Amino acid sequence: MMNLYESGLFFDEMLDGKQPKPHYRSFYQKLNAFSKAQLDEKYQQAQSSFLRQGITFTVYGAQGGTERTMPFDFVPIIIPYKQWEMIEAGVKQRVQALNCFLQDIYDKQTIINDGLIPRQLIENNPYYYYQMLGVKVPFDNHIFIAGIDLIRDEHGTYFVLEDNLRNPSGISYVFQNRYVMKEVYPEFFSKHAIQSLDKQMAYMKKALLAHRPRCLPPDAEPRAVLLTAGMYNSAYYDHVFLAQQLNIQLVEGRDLVVQNDKVYKKTIYGLEQIDIIYRRIDDDFLDPIVFREDSLLGVPHIIAAYKAGNIAILNAIGNGVADDKAMYAYVPDMIRYYLKEEPILQNVTTYHLSDDSQRTWVLAHMKELVIKNVSASGGYDMLIGPHASEDEIARFKQKINEKPSQYIAQPTIKLSRAPAFQNSRFYPCHVDLRVYAMKGEDINVLPGGLSRVALKEGSLVVNSSQGGGAKDTWILKEEWQHAKPSSRRTLLDGKI
């Protein structure tokens, strides 16, 4: 048997001590059949496949951005069906509640009036747009795609780390990871029945087209586009992939024009009206007339067309108020308030630093906590207490005292790990999982999602811009969860 490492203090996705967990056994057996040279060769083949296809993201830097591929690691995260059922239900519940919240705070504001969430927290939030108050969105749905980030602690319990309701990226990687995995490591797929991703794009397209703008005649077929910031955007590949798969046109702001509150795209034969925009640029850049006037990415007067009900914009404008790190702490309350249910997925305990007593406690326990800027993402402006120097702690204390409402604190969680194969060896790396939910008339959760892995040894930051990589995520079909080694069936990606 191949000796990977010992799982140790952390919860390991694959190993129990030195032995594989039951749902990883057949994978482990296959793994043992490979020589190191074969694994190295496959590793190179997989990485170059991403590069050849131009599946890159851009790391913004001093020299205008560098293109990189996200490192791919072939050891998948395998999730047994029962466990996935719980995640799926939890994500649906959360997205449902968050959507009710968004609908409420841009309309009747009952949750504020009932005193459940402090009014100040919403009204002072930079992502709360007064311009959107009272604006009707198609079937009251603000969230077309959500990316819910999950982590596991040392006991293997799942926690929600973050909700992404603005422009969650990475779906293309889920599909590409699976594609490369099938191409380069077909051996692993035999004896595993995995939930397929085949139908997901059809669900997504259905959800997209369900967002008919108010003024579109009932018999008219909606015309949708995907609005990208352009090829220098870090997630450009994601945009290209989705536009291709959804069979909608990929447009930039300069391709669109608003006339008489209607939005048109500029084609070779003249202007053509459009009805639905799946936008992948931030609110602030959408309309230079209403938001940032220096924005070159957006379309002047598009908000007027939105308010007039001539165009649907997905995800809806102003979603940022709900996925803010400060609002996160209230999501379990939202679930209880709107759905009258107990949350299925747990939150990580979160301390609000604008609260005097919580701040005093946090400032005294910085070494044990993670401090995050509520507006930052991608691992920026955060302090990981146990790894921080005295200087860094002092600097963060100062930042907190200057702008307490800008920061939250959370206990450090012993993030789960999984084996990764890089530079010809296996070693344990911390992982998290971004689960995608698509909401049209109903909610569909993509089976699996993007497993992100902190490939720098010992690092806790899984973000791709900070050296993180990705893994394929397998959701096992229940009946084949423990496929017997003697089985002669060949199962390829869940199809017999």
Partner 1 sequence: MLSRVADALYWMARYSERTQTNAHILQGQLLNMLEQSGKEHEYIDHWEAILNICASKEEYLSCFEKIRVNPLIEYLLFSKKNCNALLTTVSAIRENARVTRDSIPTELWELQNAFYLSLKEEIMGRQKPIPIIVLNSFLQNVRKTSLTVTGLIEGSMDRDLPFYFMQVGKWMERAEKTIRMILIVLEQHKHVTIPMSEIDGAFLLELSEATESYLRKHHQANLLCVIQYLLQDKHFPRSFMFCLQKLEEAFIHIEKDSLSERFLVLHSPLKSSIFAMMNMDLWNFTIEDIILLMEERLRQCIEFSQTFATVYYLNEPSIQP
Per CB under 8 A, which region of 46-54, 98-106, 375-383, 421-429 contacts partner 1?
46-54
Give the sign of the dihedral formed by CA 52, CA 474, CA 94, CA 434: negative
User: Pattern of binders to partner 1 over 266-305, x per CB under 8 A?
Assistant: xxxxx-----------------------------------
Indicate whether 255 belongs to the interface with partner 1 (CB under 8 A).
yes
Identity of the residue, 45 or 244, whose beta carbon is nearer to partner 1 in the bound complex: 244
Q: Which of 29, 47, 249, 412 binds partner 1 (CB under 8 A)?
A: 249
Indicate whether 171 belongs to the interface with partner 1 (CB under 8 A).
no
| Farthest-apart Cα atoms in the chain, separation | 70
CB of 294 to partner 1, least distance (A): 17
CB of 55 to partner 1, least distance (A): 10
Give the sign of the dihedral formed by CA 410, CA 432, CA 45, CA 56: negative
Q: Which of 51, 89, 133, 376 binds partner 1 (CB under 8 A)?
A: 51
Question: Do residues 469 and 173 make contact, with C-beta atoms less than 8 angstroms apart?
Answer: no
The span from the CA of 305 to the CA of 286, in Å, is 12
Indicate whether 488 belongs to the interface with partner 1 (CB under 8 A).
no
Per CB under 8 A, which region of 49-57, 305-313, 365-373, 403-411 contacts partner 1?
49-57
Q: Which of 110, 120, 244, 424 binds partner 1 (CB under 8 A)?
A: 244
Identity of the residue, 254 or 387, whose beta carbon is nearer to partner 1 in the bound complex: 254
Indicate whether 252 belongs to the interface with partner 1 (CB under 8 A).
yes
Indicate whether 240 belongs to the interface with partner 1 (CB under 8 A).
yes
Question: Do residues 459 and 432 make contact, with C-beta atoms less than 8 angstroms apart?
Answer: no
CB of 48 to partner 1, least distance (A): 9
Instruction: Say how many C-beta atoms besides its own lie within 10 A of residue 274's C-beta.
Output: 25
Indicate whether 12 belongs to the interface with partner 1 (CB under 8 A).
no
Q: Between the CA of residue 338 and those of 97, 161, 285, 302, 341, what are the distances in Å?
A: 6, 21, 32, 32, 8
Indicate whether 64 belongs to the interface with partner 1 (CB under 8 A).
no
Instruction: Say how many C-beta atoms besides its own lie within 10 A of residue 75's C-beta.
Output: 25
Q: Which of 118, 230, 309, 378 binds partner 1 (CB under 8 A)?
A: 230
Per CB under 8 A, which region of 187-195, 236-244, 344-352, 410-418 contacts partner 1?
236-244
- In sequence order, the 6+-apart residues with CB closer than 8 A to the CB of 302 are 256, 258, 263, 286, 287, 311, 313
Q: Which residue has the tokens 């609005």?
A: 227
CA angle 106, 111, 116 (to 5 degrees): 140
Per CB under 8 A, which region of 263-271, 278-286, 344-352, 453-461 contacts partner 1?
263-271
Burial bucket for residue 9 (CB in 10 Å: 0-12, 13-18, 19+): exposed
Identity of the residue, 58 or 103, whose beta carbon is nearer to partner 1 in the bound complex: 58
Identity of the residue, 85 or 183, whose beta carbon is nearer to partner 1 in the bound complex: 183
What's the number of CA atoms in the CB half-sphere (13 Å) around residue 262? 12
Residues that bind partner 1 (CB under 8 A): 51-54, 230-231, 236, 240, 243-244, 249-252, 254-255, 265-270
